[in-house]
Amino acid sequence: MVVVAILAILAGFAAPSMLQLIRTQKVRSAAYDMFADVTYTRSQAISRGHNVGIGSNNGNDWSGGYSVRDLTTGEVLRTAGASSTGITFTADTVGLIFDRTGRNTTGNAKFSIKPVEASAPDNQKRCIQIAPSGRPNSLTGPCP
């Protein structure tokens, strides 16, 4: 009985840390997936020699999923389902288009991925920026 009481006390101390870890991992996982899919879209545009785009299924709210499409043939190359609950995933654009040289033809773009909780610290937020050159950059913290 004493052992069970000690375990319950230790679990009570560990629970808040575990919740923060889970929240951080959800954001980090969504950011890594988005970074990989933007890189994939760009590489497909270069290897195919024509425009390839990545677009949201739900306007500027990318948490509903997105797809990568060859804009010349209309072929869907990759799809991503809805993000896990507990995060917001927004962007200042509904899609990106990469040309045959790998350049982003839609201009600068920023993806903001953060926990739903407004009190979440900045180190639990991620920003992915795509420059006109087409190269993505991932930052820890809110988008500047």
- Tens-place pLDDT, residues 61-76: 998 999 999 999 999 9
Average pLDDT over residues 76-103: 92
Q: What is the pLDDT of residue 111?
A: 95
* Of the options 1.10.10.10, 3.20.20.70, 3.40.50.300, 3.55.40.10, the CATH number for the domain spanning 2-140: 3.55.40.10
Confidence (pLDDT) at 125:
94
Residues 30 and 37 sit within 8 Å (Cβ to Cβ): no
The residue ranges of every structural domain in the chain are 2-140
Main-chain dihedrals φ then ψ at residue 7, nearest 5 degrees: -65, -40
Whole-number pLDDT of residue 16 = 63
**pLDDT tens digits, residue range 124-144?**
999 999 999 999 999 999 998
Report d(CA 104, CA 96) in Å as an integer: 7
Q: What is the pLDDT of residues 23-66, one digit of tens each?
A: 889 999 999 999 999 999 999 999 999 999 999 998 889 989 99
